[in-house]
Amino acid sequence: MLLILCHFKNLFHKSICLGVLYFIGISSISAQVNPPTLQCKKSDTIIWQNSLSSCGPFLHYELFNSTSPTGPFALIATIVNPNQLYYKHVGAIGNQYYYIRAIYDCPGVTMPASDTISSGIPTITPIKIVTVENDKNEIHWDFINSASIFGYIIFKSTALGTIPIDTVDANTNVYVDLGSTPSTSSEFYYVCSVDFCGNVSLYDLAHQNMVLTSKPDQCAKTLEFKWNKYTNAVGGISKQEIWVSKAGGPFLLVDTILPSDSTYILKNIDTRLEYCVYVKAITNTKGIESKSNIICQTPNVVADFSYFLIKNVSVLIDRKIQLDWIWDKTADIKSYKIQRRTEGQDWIDVQNFTNPVLNDVETYVDQSSLDPTQNVYEYRIITVNQCDQSFISPIVSSIRAYGVAFPQNTNKVYWTTPKLVGEIIGYNIYYITTDTFGVIIGNNGVNDLKMEHDISLLPSSTLQFCYYVEAISQINMPDSSIMEVASRSPIVCVTKLVDYYIPNVFNPNGVNTEFRPYTSNEELISSYDLIIFDRWGNLIFESKNFTEGWKGTRKNKEVPAGVYTYIIKSTQFSGKILNYAGTVQLVR
C-alpha cells in the first residue's frame, strides 16, 4: 500500500518529466498518432499520460465530459501546454465520464480519442479461486481491462480485522501468500483494484481455502476426512474429487462426490502404509478448481493380516497331526485358537493362545488321540484382534488312507481328497521299506484316489506291507513365488492275505489221505475251525487244529464214499476273517 501511495505522490513529477522529454525532441519511431491515456480522476482532478507523436508539432489537448457513458460528450477544456497532464474540473458532481485527445499539426491525419473513464472508483475485482499449492494459499483473479488500473491490493481477514497484506502490479493476477497456513487455518481473501490516483475498488465476495483434517478409526480401519466447503466460486461447484497417494506413490482419483459433501471416509486402511490425501473442488467454469491442503499420515489402526496361509496339514508317524502356517507377524492379535472337527461334528477347541508373539512361520502338533485311518480331521484357526474382531482361516483337512489285501498277491491303498489352501496337482504313493522311509511306487493324478500294489515279486517272508500317500499342492506365496508342499497321510499297513488251497476230492487210501486246506502262511492264522457235514446235515467231523484233517471217518469208523459239505472258519492275526464253504468228494 505504501508503494502505491508513494507512486501517486510522485505522479505529477513523472508527468512533467514526460513533457520535458517531448520538448527536447525525443519521439517515437512511429508516425502514427496515439491518443493520450486517461488514467484516473482524483477528487475533481482528471489525470492523463501523453503519447508522443512525430507527425507534426503539438497544438493542444481536448478534454470532453458527459454525465452518461453514452454521451452526448461536450468539450470542457482545451489545454495548449503539452506538459500539463491534469485538469481540475470545478463543480463536477455525481457520475462523470471523460475522454481526451491530443491535436497535432498533421494535415490529413485523424486524431483518435482515448478510452472513456468514469469519475467513480475502479471496477470490482472478483477472485476466481483460492487454492493450495506447495502448502501455501494461492489466489487467482481476472485482470481488469482498463488502462487506469495501476495494480491490485490483496486483503486478508485476520484477528485484527481485514488488512492489506501486499500489492502487485497490473500485469499480475496470481498471488502466493507466503504467510498462509492452509493446513491449520481457513483464511479469507479479497482482491481490490487500484488506479493511478490511489482509488481502490470495493470488496467482492470473500474466498477462502479448504482445510482438510482427518481422524482414524482404529477398529473400523478407516480414515474420516472433513473440510470446509468452498464458497463463492464463480459459477458454483459442480463436484468434488478425492485424491489419494499410498506409500509414496502417485496421487490417484479414488472417488467423485457431491458438491454439498464435506466429509469422506476412506476404508480398508492399512496401518503399515502412509496415506496422503487432498480434496479438489471443481467449479462449473472449465479449468477453475480449488485444492485443499495435502494431509499425510500413517494411521494408527488395528493391523489385519496381509496374508495368512495354512500351508500344510500332515499326519506324523505316530499319527499325530501337524499344522504348518505362515502369517503376517505384524498383525495386531491378542489371542488365537486352533479348532478341530470330524465330518458332521461340531468344532472343538484344541489349543488357545493368549497375547502370542507371532512368528513368520508357525507349527502346531495336535497331541490328541486320533485315528486318521478311520476319520478325516478338519482344522481351522480363529484369531481375535485388539478390537475383539475375529478372523477365521480357511478350513484344511487331513488325508484319510486305508489299505486292503486281496487274493493273488495284491494290495490296494485308498485315500480321500484333503482340503488344502494350495491347488493339488497330484499324489505320490510310498511303500515303506524301513520304519520311516519309503520308495515311491506310484504317481497319481488329482482324481485318481487309489493304488494297486503287486506284491508277488517281494520276498514271500514279507507278511506286512505299509504305505502312505502325499498330496502335492502348489501355493501362491505373498512374495508372488510358488511353493510346492507335500501333505502326508497316516501310515497304513496291510497284512498279507492267507491264500488257502482247498482240494475238492480225496481218497483215504490214495495220495491225498485226508481233507484239509493248505497255505504257505499258516503263521498268519490266529484261529481256525474245520467242520464236515453229511448230506443230511449231520455233523461228521470238527477240528480246530490247522494241521489236523478229516480222514473220511466218523467216530473212528469209515463213512461211505460220497459228497460231503465243509465249512472253514479262520481269523488272521490282523483281524481279517476268512470263511469258506463248499463240498468235497470222498472216494474209496
HEC readout, 547-558: CCCECCEECCEE
- Quote the pLDDT of residue 18: 30
Q: Using an 8 Å Cβ cutoff, are 206 and 190 in contact?
A: yes
C-alpha cell at 506: 480225496
In Å, what is the CA distance from 239 to each residue of 64, 153, 265, 287, 343? 50, 31, 17, 13, 56
C-alpha cell at 451: 493304488
Residue with cell 478407516: 222
Q: One-letter amino acid identity for 486? A: A
- Quote the pLDDT of residue 32: 63
Q: Using an 8 Å Cβ cutoff, are 149 and 72 in contact?
A: no
Q: d(Cα 182, Cα 199) in Å, to the nearest integer?
A: 31
Quickly list DSSP for 462-490. Answer: --EEEEEEEEEEEEE-TTS-EEEEEEEPP
How many other C-beta atoms can be found within 10 angstroms of the C-beta atom of residue 79?
17
Q: d(Cα 102, Cα 107) in Å, to the nearest integer?
A: 14
Q: d(Cα 473, Cα 310) in Å, to the nearest integer?
A: 12
pLDDT in tens for each of the 588 residues of the chain? 333 433 333 333 333 223 332 333 333 334 568 899 888 888 888 999 888 787 889 999 999 999 998 999 999 999 999 999 999 999 888 888 999 999 999 988 889 998 888 877 888 999 999 999 999 999 999 998 887 889 999 999 988 899 999 999 999 999 999 999 999 999 999 999 999 888 999 999 999 999 999 999 999 999 999 999 999 998 899 999 999 999 999 999 999 999 999 999 999 898 889 999 999 999 999 999 999 999 999 998 888 888 999 999 999 999 999 999 999 999 999 999 999 999 889 999 999 999 999 999 999 999 999 999 999 999 999 999 999 999 999 999 999 999 998 877 899 999 999 999 999 999 999 999 765 578 999 999 999 999 999 998 888 778 889 999 999 999 999 999 999 999 999 999 988 888 788 999 999 998 889 999 998 778 888 899 999 999 999 999 999 999 999 999 999 999 999 999 999 999 988 788 889 999 999 998
How many other C-beta atoms can be found within 10 angstroms of the C-beta atom of residue 122?
24
Q: Using an 8 Å Cβ cutoff, are 501 and 494 in contact?
A: no
Sign of the CA dihedral running 11, 13, 16, 22: negative
Rg of the chain, C-alpha, whole Å? 53
Q: d(Cα 179, Cα 363) in Å, to the nearest integer?
A: 59
Q: Is 557 exposed, middle or buried (0-12, 13-18, 19+ CB in 10 A)?
A: exposed
Residue with cell 493304488: 451
Q: Using an 8 Å Cβ cutoff, are 199 and 247 in contact?
A: no
C-alpha cell at 535: 448230506
Q: Using an 8 Å Cβ cutoff, are 489 and 466 in contact?
A: no
- Residue among 129, 133, 190, 204 nearest 157 (CA): 190
C-alpha cell at 267: 476404508
Which run of H or E residues covers position 20?
helix 11-23
Report, in this order, helix, strand and coil percent for the chain, each rounded to 5: 5, 50, 45
**Does the N-terminal peptide bond of residue 182 adopt cis geometry, omega within 30 degrees of 0?**
no
Across the strands, what pairs with 432? 438
Residues sharing a CB contact under 8 Å with residue 476, sequence separation 6 or more, in sequence order:
422, 482
Across the strands, what pairs with 423? 474
C-alpha cell at 205: 465476495
